[in-house]
Amino acid sequence: MNFKRDLASPISEVLGIVVLSIILWYGGNLILDGDKGFKLDGEGFITYIALFSQIINPAKALSAAFYNMQKGTAALNRIEEILNAPSVIVDKENPTMLTTFKDKIEFKNVSFSYNEITVLKNINLVVSKGKTIALVGSSGAGKSTLADLVPRFHDVTSGEILVDGINIKDYSLESLRGKISIVTQEPILFNDTIANNILYGNQSASKQQVEDAAKVANAYNYIIKKDESFDTNIGDRGNKLSGGEKQRLTIARAILKDAPILILDEATSSLDTESERLVQDAMNKMVQNRTTIVIAHRLSTIRHADEIIVMNKGEIAERGTHDSLIEQNGIYKRLVDMQELK
């Protein structure tokens, strides 16, 4: 579609020049050879040229409108496919409500395949309440997929995931996801005010609670410097904010939601040094007294995790604390050495 759009303007320009050349040639012949047939005087010819010049811009606009109509139709078809697609992840009949998170998240022999490609194999892992577990490994090792199974963005192919001893498939989706906050690498923001973007985590929160969440997320100081403070519109996907500002806003939203389970998916990997420091400080405050799964690209951010899980080709290759994994002199030690060399 972009190729067609890029061609539309040059083609219309060329066609305009060709048509103008034909008019000039033909009109010139009519003026010069008027005694042999239809006669056209100079004033009439200039009138034709003036009319043609007035048609060019509307013709270009028509071409652009036609392209936009085609693009819109294609987008509408894709949206309809998504809206009409059957839901794969659904509640069972009479699901259990997860009212409080009391004990642990447990992965029992969990495997997951996508389009017949095995992504995770026989994962056994326990995340106790209040603990921080870090998932590390190379790209494609299965870190994000493992975290996505907890809120049931996907369902396991085999095995089971238990929350407080009950299979997560037995809980209602709303109650399960209501106990989970997620901060992703790419901030998910809306074309609305700063306050409303934060309130998306808890729409019944007061103005004071929104401001308190922004303070904990190290976002308050930059927000109040905006012309309209918390009422500032941040544009589509937050394009009026810097990367660090957007990330701190999503952290404020997660803090306001105050869910007991927290998933941080490479939340600092695309930030500059100063923004990373502010975001990391905000995340350190946020993980306190929460059960946290951290997917880490920069290993310096997870040194103090209660347990580090090293993923390799969909399996748990190593596990332990930072110090114990360094002593093992395995994959984790190699990843740390590579980052220190950089």
* Domains of the chain, each with CATH number or no CATH: 2-84 (no CATH), 104-341 (3.40.50.300)
| Residue 75 confidence (pLDDT) | 84
Are 137 and 310 in contact by the 8 Å Cβ rule? The answer is yes
Q: How confident is the model at residue 197 (pLDDT cuts 50, 70, 90)?
A: very high
Q: Which of 22-26, 209-213, 308-312, 314-318 has the lowest mean pLDDT?
A: 22-26
Closest listed residue to residue 217, CA positions, set 261, 260, 251, 253: 251
Q: How confident is the model at residue 283 (pLDDT cuts 50, 70, 90)?
A: confident
Both tokens assigned to 140: 């494609």
What is the residue-wise DSSP string for 136-195?
A: E-STTSSHHHHHHTTTTSS--SEEEEEETTEEGGGB-HHHHHTTEEEE-SS----SSBHH
| Residue 7 confidence (pLDDT) | 60
| Residue 35 confidence (pLDDT) | 53
Partners of 320 in the β-ladder: 308
| Residue 341 confidence (pLDDT) | 59
Tell me: the pLDDT tens digits for 160-183?
A: 999 999 999 999 999 999 999 988
Quick check: 3 pLDDT over 60? no
Both tokens assigned to 137: 């490994």
Tell me: the pLDDT tens digits for 120-131?
A: 999 999 999 989
In the three-class reduction of DSSP (H, G, I as helix; E, B as strand; rest coil), residue 54 is classed as: helix
| Residue 177 confidence (pLDDT) | 92
Quick check: 338 pLDDT over 90? no
| Residue 46 confidence (pLDDT) | 78
Are 294 and 304 in contact by the 8 Å Cβ rule? The answer is no
Tell me: the pLDDT tens digits for 237-256?
A: 888 888 888 888 988 898 89
Tell me: the pLDDT tens digits for 60-103?
A: 777 778 878 888 888 888 888 888 888 888 888 899 999 999 99
Closest listed residue to residue 151, CA positions, set 119, 184, 124: 184
Predicted model pTM? 0.74
On the CB side of 93, CA atoms within 13 Å amount to: 0
**In whole angstroms, what is the distance from residue 263 CA to residue 144 CA?**
10
Closest listed residue to residue 297, CA positions, set 130, 111, 131, 141: 141
Partners of 264 in the β-ladder: 183, 294
| Residue 97 confidence (pLDDT) | 94
**In whole angstroms, what is the distance from residue 96 CA to residue 16 CA?**
68
Range of 3-12, 106-115, 288-297 with top mean pLDDT: 106-115
